[in-house]
Amino acid sequence: MSTVAWFRFEGVLVPRTTLACATWMAARHHDVLGRVGRVGAGWLGRGLAFAGDPGEALRLAFRGVAGASEDRIAILSEDWADAVIADGLHAPGCRLLDRARDQGLTPVLVATHPEGVVARVAQHLGVDHHLANHLEIVDGFATGRLTSPVVTGHLDRRRLEADAHARGLSTQRACAYGHAAEDTAFLAAAPRPCAVTPTPRLRRLAQELGWPIVEARP
């Protein structure tokens, strides 16, 4: 049984944030009428994120795509993913991804982005497994809601382990790679955590706990 290596999508691999994705998708919603209101929802979601409620921020931010057809959501997701890839994925995270595969580990991308975005980037990276958020579709149209449970950076050990076991992966010597302070619980869920070009708060915590830190090369 292969061992899992969890990679936080945002920060470790991609430079763009999920709330920026929500705002971008809302701005390109096919219905021009009401576009300002939808974009406003995305910015309000950003405000909630800074207030310390990332789950509610994500739920609110994606209300801006309510009414978009399933096909339109798929196109927007692919366009955003292609823009992320074109920007350039983070080199330190990509190197760690390659190293994990060389060591016989199975990478799983853990993302707050919508599933369509993550699937396209995962395909580009040659990764078969990802855990991401899903936009609720009813009768072929987005409701503007995320299906529960919402994926945030605050995933606990039980959910990560359950997901890995459902994929037939071992967590006994699992690795986890995170970038920001919100990834603390995610990192603590793995026997072998690693902070990748960490934010100042995560850097301090990693130093206190003796977690390895990987820096970007100049």
DSSP per-residue string spanning 65-130? GTT-BHHHHHHHHHHHHHHHHHH---HHHHHHHHHHHHTT-EEEEEEEEEHHHHHHHHHHHT--EE
- Which is more confident, 82 or 56? 82
Say yes or no to pLDDT of 56 above 80: no
Quick one: pLDDT at residue 54? Answer: 59
Residue 180 DSSP symbol: S
Backbone angles phi, psi at 59, to 5 degrees: -60, -45
Residue with tokens 């994705």: 21
pTM greater than 0.95: no
Q: β-pairing, 135-138 with 141-146? A: antiparallel
Residue 14 DSSP symbol: B
Say yes or no to pLDDT of 143 above 80: yes
159-187 tens-digit pLDDT: 999 999 999 999 999 999 999 998 999 99
Mean pLDDT (the chain) is 88
Sign of CA dihedral 1, 119, 179, 51: negative
Quick one: pLDDT at residue 84? Answer: 94
Quick one: average pLDDT of 73-78? Answer: 96
**Domains defined for the chain, CATH in brackets:** 3-214 (3.40.50.1000)
